[in-house]
Amino acid sequence: VAAAALLAACGSGGQIGDSGGSAPTAVKKMVLIPGVAAEPFYISMECGFREAAKAAGYEVDVQAPAKFDAPLQIPIVTGVLANKPGAVLIAPTDDKALAGPMKQLKDAGVKVVEVDTKLQDTSIAESSISSNNAQGGKKAAETLARLVGDKQGSVLVLNTKAGTSTTDARAKGFEDAIKAFPNLKYLGQQYTDNEPDQAASKVTATLSSDPDLIGVFATNLNTGEGAATGLRNAGKTGAVNLVGFDASPKQVQDLQAGVVQALIAQDPATIGKTGVEQAVAAIEGKEVKRNIETDLVAITKTDAAGSERYFYKQAC
């Protein structure tokens, strides 16, 4: 309690002195708030975060909501504020709803770094680290078009939740790029609330309403895993080309099994590591880079061997 009170009283930087009168001990703290708990993308990000924070001499805490849901994430942000760490790395689950709580952190002197998703308001975070998601959507469209070749048919985008900066950018990148392929009729996007079951049932419903469905772009891990289930349930694996985003162990397994034809994989561990580097620079008053992009790669079954470094982890 005494340490927490001292920490709360000591202003920015997260450094506190020892109250015992002996030599002062520096406590440097950093918190990661992922978009959702126990999910391979954020687990891999956490691994990069932990390794880099340890190397920089920071104590870490990771607090994630049970679902990718702003009302569940907001109390975590306000709770973290009470302990006043030097920095908070956060993947905001909504590009507007998290602005108020994140501004409270900034106003209290906590350095805020966005990892993966970001707010529309660019005045709060010191730095934002993410994949180029619009380019990822474009890569998905071009990969899907290449897989389909000259065949004619309809294509569907399965998105997560409106207001998620990353997946919205992926859907937009896909929509813009698919126009270059007149043999493919774009059916538009459907939201799934980031629930695999909804993604599965939307795929089977679309197969009934549009039997010429030839391709699906699933904008993230849960929609991709759910879409694969939908195609399995309908007996359409392989007949419909499924391009997913992310590379969870299950998605990679589905790629090897021919249920998924391509994955656009990110580099979440590097997002976590780079987030720490920027946070430390901000705390130390050094130069901070406002926007940083990390790698994206399209992986198909034939080039999966050699791309292992992009496969996400279940544990560090």
Residues of this chain that interact with ligand T6T (CB under 6 A) are: 35, 39, 41-42, 116-117, 164, 166-167, 220-222, 245-246
Q: How far is the CB of 41 from ligand T6T (least distance, A)?
A: 4
Q: How far is the CB of 160 from ligand T6T (least distance, A)?
A: 6
Distance separating alpha carbons of residues 296 and 150, to the nearest angstrom: 26
**Identity of the residue, 127 or 167, whose beta carbon is nearer to ligand T6T in the bound complex:** 167
Distance separating alpha carbons of residues 106 and 76, to the nearest angstrom: 15
Q: How far is the CB of 73 from ligand T6T (least distance, A)?
A: 12
**Identity of the residue, 117 or 154, whose beta carbon is nearer to ligand T6T in the bound complex:** 117
Buried b (16+ CB within 10 A) or exposed e, 160-176: bbebbbbbbbbbbbbbe
Other Cβ atoms within 10 Å of 181 Cβ, number: 17
Partners of 88 in beta bridges: 31, 112
Environment class of 306 (CB within 10 Å of its CB; exposed 0-12, middle 13-18, buried 19+): exposed
**Identity of the residue, 127 or 164, whose beta carbon is nearer to ligand T6T in the bound complex:** 164
Q: How far is the CB of 142 from ligand T6T (least distance, A)?
A: 19
DSSP track, 299-315: EEGGG-TT-GGGS--S-
Of 46, 40, 39, 75, nearest in space to 60 by CA: 46
**Identity of the residue, 220 or 278, whose beta carbon is nearer to ligand T6T in the bound complex:** 220
Place of tokens 């703290």: 29
Distance separating alpha carbons of residues 214 and 203, to the nearest angstrom: 11
Q: How far is the CB of 266 from ligand T6T (least distance, A)?
A: 6
Type of residue found at 254: D
**Identity of the residue, 64 or 231, whose beta carbon is nearer to ligand T6T in the bound complex:** 64
**Identity of the residue, 35 or 101, whose beta carbon is nearer to ligand T6T in the bound complex:** 35
Q: How far is the CB of 251 from ligand T6T (least distance, A)?
A: 10
Of 16, 8, 129, nearest in space to 80 by CA: 8
Contacts of 165 (CB under 8 A, 6+ apart): 92, 95, 117, 118, 119, 120, 133
User: Residue 130 — φ and ψ, nearest 5°?
Assistant: -160, 170
Q: How far is the CB of 246 from ligand T6T (least distance, A)?
A: 5
Q: How far is the CB of 107 from ligand T6T (least distance, A)?
A: 26
**Identity of the residue, 164 or 237, whose beta carbon is nearer to ligand T6T in the bound complex:** 164
Query: Do 32 and 46 form a contact (C-beta atoms < 8 A)?
Result: yes
Q: How far is the CB of 254 from ligand T6T (least distance, A)?
A: 15
**Identity of the residue, 46 or 126, whose beta carbon is nearer to ligand T6T in the bound complex:** 46
**Identity of the residue, 58 or 245, whose beta carbon is nearer to ligand T6T in the bound complex:** 245
What is the rounded (10 degree) CA torsion for 203, 194, 165, 309?
A: -90
